[in-house]
Structure 1
Amino acid sequence: MRNLTDPPRPLAAGLGNSNDQTRRHNLSTILTLLAQDGAQPRAQLTRRTGLNRSTIAALVSELAERDLVFETAAPGGGTVGRPSPVVNPNGRIACLAVHPDLDAVVVGLVGLGGLVHGRIRRETAGVPTAEQAVALAAGMATELRRRHAGVRVVGAGIALPGLVRSPDGLVTFAPHLGWHDEPLADRMAEALGVPAVATNDAKAAAVAELIHGAGKGARNLVYLNGSRSGIGGAVFTGGRALGGAAGYGGELGHTLADPAGGPCHCGNRGCLETEVGVEPLLAALGRSAADPDELDALLASGAPDVRVELERQLDVLARSIASFIAAFDPELVLLGGFLGSLFDVDPERLRLRVREASFAAISEGVRIERAELRENLVIVGAAELAFAPLLADPVSLSASA
């Protein structure tokens, strides 16, 4: 089983090819453009792909026959001659998305184009085992399918805080969950009755931001996500996820941030996720927990003890970001989860510290921003990864679904 954080083609759709032998490639190109950029007139698809109008008409017709797209009339007025029909991705073709975490399991039902039909969160009494996560996910998936009976499910994506191996999706180590060598993708596929893929939750979030959020249009990106499970990361170069030899590429939370720092659960000292974390921030606030929106407001309160910890963490984060810029030469660094909250309190301090710690010739022009998508970020990303086989080959996968 492939881990689709290293997709069969770049996330961007690319250009079409007029050779008849590449019909499947052209179908893939059209469906990917629609799934990532939304409804478009046939004329716009013609311009974007470089294919002629008759070829586009034939491709759209075939995708419509397979129930993957549908056409609507163009908005009226202001055009000369017959307006070009608008081609829409069929959002009722959907994937399940599963996100196990420390205290809950979330399952979403996401249609082509990032349309979230529904989302259920079930809290757990403690950290769930892999078996409990599968059982909870199966029950929630059944409930979502019942609520949305007209939706056709073609796959499932699982995103979790841990190391997930390519190409089989084995969860080799999820330290915060206490999972070791769990064949989670295979178990979920059996329980849910559809093909399943598994990935790290930060990689899933990065995919969602690249396709539907603040990273749209970027080809070279570093994404960092902070949660109570630690800091996860993902790197995209040339539109492709950095996977590495075993699929662990982008594990940025366990890069060295401070040689004199505290011990990390991974066995080292001074890892980024050890030196930058939500727990010290909550402690400074006198809180044991806070939801994301509440955390934004609490961190912006300006309390002196909170400010000291905020500035310490921002400075550590800045040094790490400067190292990532030197290593990966991104055009954009995106911060999600509590790192986004941290950033929003004092974005200029972070940007200044990054510039101070960077090689100017490389860092000049790099943007640092907060991720746009919020509560649905991970489930949309997990679903997008599960859609990858369909987008790569609409013929074989839509026929067998």
Structure 2
Amino acid sequence: MPGILGARVTHARRIGRQPDGGTVQGSSHDDVRRHNLSVVLRLVHRSGAASRSQLTRVTGLNRSTIAALVAELVDRGLVVEREPSSTNQVGRPSPIVSVSEQVVALAVNPEIDAVTIGIVGLDGQVHRRVRYPTDQSPSVLEAVNIAAAVIDGMRGELEARFKVVGIGVAVPGLVRAHDGLVRHAPHLGWIDEPLAEMLEAATGYPVLAANDASLGAMAERFFGAGKGITDLIYLNGGASGIGGGMIVGGAPAGGIAGYAGEFGHTRVSDSERVDSAGIRGTLEAEVTRRELLEVLGLAGADADELEQALRASTSPEVRAEVNRQIDHLAVALAGAINILNPQVVVLGGFLAALLAVDADRLRSAVAKHSLDAAFGTVRLSAAELGSNLLMIGAAELAFEGLLDDPAGLPATAPAGAPAESP
């Protein structure tokens, strides 16, 4: 596994970030055992399988402490150990530690035309994804009932194969961080809806909810285009508009209540077009999936199909619309780059299709509006996780409590039983 931890040492050492900005590596003192368990579990969760010797080197803990921590994580069913493959190393090879495939979270993503439910492993693998179409935008009660019914249908598989730590919900709207209250999801028509509380009551699992684009940013940072990156901006374009998320200094930047990253409401023009919040001339008002579909003469298409159609089109009208949207997108991206100075800007949904159709135009337009120094260090990239993006992001939200305190999950927890909140 050459380089897997070397590229992520910084992240491992930021897990114990202190209020003064300093960082803490693992310690062998008993009073920080839970912290040390968290350090080790986060490493193998987000960096992949690692040998005990690599964990020793990265954390700064001694071999006996790492052995004891790994043994406890094994007892709790969170990691497994295996012998390494053939090696030329002299002496006894160090066992390989990886997360258990049995530990999973459930992921839910309500949209204007469907509710998607998934089973996602601690290793980032999506074991199952079910998209339940709806004839119209679901109410919060309808979304909860659909998700609960699908999860009930999975109970047999969950109880037989997995240990479920909870549910994460990716919501296309503003979500209050501390209790999962959906303050405003305009395209769904939800205002001040206690989504997390309702879904927890319906399923029996602990539930956390957050903005979908913010969760997409987290997923791409750990498992996609932003792997190993500490400063990232993610923008997603979909049927519900444009949202975004930020990773700043290795940590999600959600704002005081979790509403940060609403790049779709950034002003990019003087036009009278209004977005879902009634604000004129914004990115969400000017750059829309609907207008791309209309100019192509399509009733609907997913992101991949839209990209293919745009690439294949020779229509001057299509090209003009693509150019118009790219130029407005560039204004918003340049502003974000000038303010946040990221290493990478990741585009998802139909925004990735615009990048794919004419990356040179987008880069040139962004450069025109950016400071030279800031633009010189940034990379524009399409999201890598595809249709699994929000499932992985929502699951990561559910895993966070476990990663913070692995000792909070009982060693004898029955497979499929909801875990106690840490």
Shorter-chain TM-score tier: over 0.9
Q: Matched residues in 1 for 2:257 and 2:97: separation?
A: 39
In structure 2, give the amino acid aligned to 1:215: G
Alignment of 1:119-268 (within 5 A): 119-148=129-158, 149-268=160-279
Matched with 1:303 is 315
Secondary structure of 2:104's counterpart equals strand
TM normalised by structure 1 equals 0.95
Alignment of 1:45-124 (within 5 A): 45-124=55-134
Secondary structure of 1:188's counterpart equals helix
Matched with 1:28 is 38
Question: Contact conserved, 1:261 with 1:271, CA < 8 A, in 2?
Answer: no
Q: Matched residues in 1 for 2:66 and 2:86: separation?
A: 22
Render the CA deviation track for 1:260-314: whole Å, top value 9, x for unaligned.
2402231210111110011111111011101222111101023221111111111
In structure 2, give the amino acid aligned to 1:110: V
Matched with 1:371 is 383
Deviation at 1:138, TM superposition (A): 0.7
Deviation at 1:143, TM superposition (A): 2.2
Render the CA deviation track for 1:331-374: whole Å, top value 9, x for unaligned.
11100011001101111111111111111122221111111000
Q: CA RMSD in A?
A: 1.4
Question: Contact conserved, 2:275 with 2:282, CA < 8 A, in 1?
Answer: yes
Q: Matched residues in 2 for 1:67 and 1:275: separation?
A: 49
Q: Matched residues in 2 for 1:38 and 1:74: separation?
A: 14
Deviation at 1:224, TM superposition (A): 0.2
Render the CA deviation track for 1:361-396: whole Å, top value 9, x for unaligned.
222211111110001100100000110000000112
Secondary structure of 2:386's counterpart equals coil
Question: Contact conserved, 1:13 with 1:33, CA < 8 A, in 2?
Answer: no
Matched, 1:389 2:401: yes
Q: Matched residues in 1 for 2:194 and 2:209: separation?
A: 9
Q: How many residues align?
A: 392
Which structure 1 residue ranges, 4+ long, deviate > 6 Å from structure 2?
Answer: none
Matched, 1:342 2:354: yes
Deviation at 1:174, TM superposition (A): 0.4
Q: Answer with 299-308 or 23-32: which moved more.
A: 299-308
2:304 to 293, 296, 299: 293
Q: Answer with 13-22 or 170-179: which moved more.
A: 13-22
In structure 1, give the amino acid aligned to 2:393: G
Question: Contact conserved, 1:13 with 1:30, CA < 8 A, in 2?
Answer: no
Q: Answer with 336-345 or 390-399: which moved more.
A: 390-399
Matched, 1:351 2:366: no
Question: Contact conserved, 1:16 with 1:25, CA < 8 A, in 2?
Answer: yes
Question: Contact conserved, 1:39 with 1:86, CA < 8 A, in 2?
Answer: yes
Q: Answer with 31-40 or 12-21: which moved more.
A: 12-21
Deviation at 1:13, TM superposition (A): 4.3
Alignment of 1:37-48 (within 5 A): 37-48=47-58
Q: Matched residues in 2 for 1:340 and 1:212: separation?
A: 17
Deviation at 1:47, TM superposition (A): 1.3
Question: Contact conserved, 2:26 with 2:39, CA < 8 A, in 1?
Answer: yes
1:16 to 19, 26, 29: 26
Question: Contact conserved, 1:107 with 1:121, CA < 8 A, in 2?
Answer: yes
TM normalised by structure 2 equals 0.90
Q: Matched residues in 2 for 1:265 and 1:104: separation?
A: 19
Q: Matched residues in 1 for 2:325 and 2:109: separation?
A: 27
Question: Contact conserved, 2:87 with 2:93, CA < 8 A, in 1?
Answer: no
In structure 1, give the amino acid aligned to 2:44: L
Q: Answer with 161-170 or 98-107: which moved more.
A: 161-170
Structure 1 residue ranges without an equivalent (≥5): 1-9
Deviation at 1:98, TM superposition (A): 0.2
Q: Matched residues in 1 for 2:303 and 2:372: separation?
A: 34
Alignment of 1:261-276 (within 5 A): 261-276=272-287
Secondary structure of 2:387's counterpart equals coil
Deviation at 1:398, TM superposition (A): 4.1
Q: Matched residues in 1 for 2:251 and 2:205: separation?
A: 25
Matched with 1:3 is none
Secondary structure of 2:109's counterpart equals strand
In structure 1, give the amino acid aligned to 2:180: G
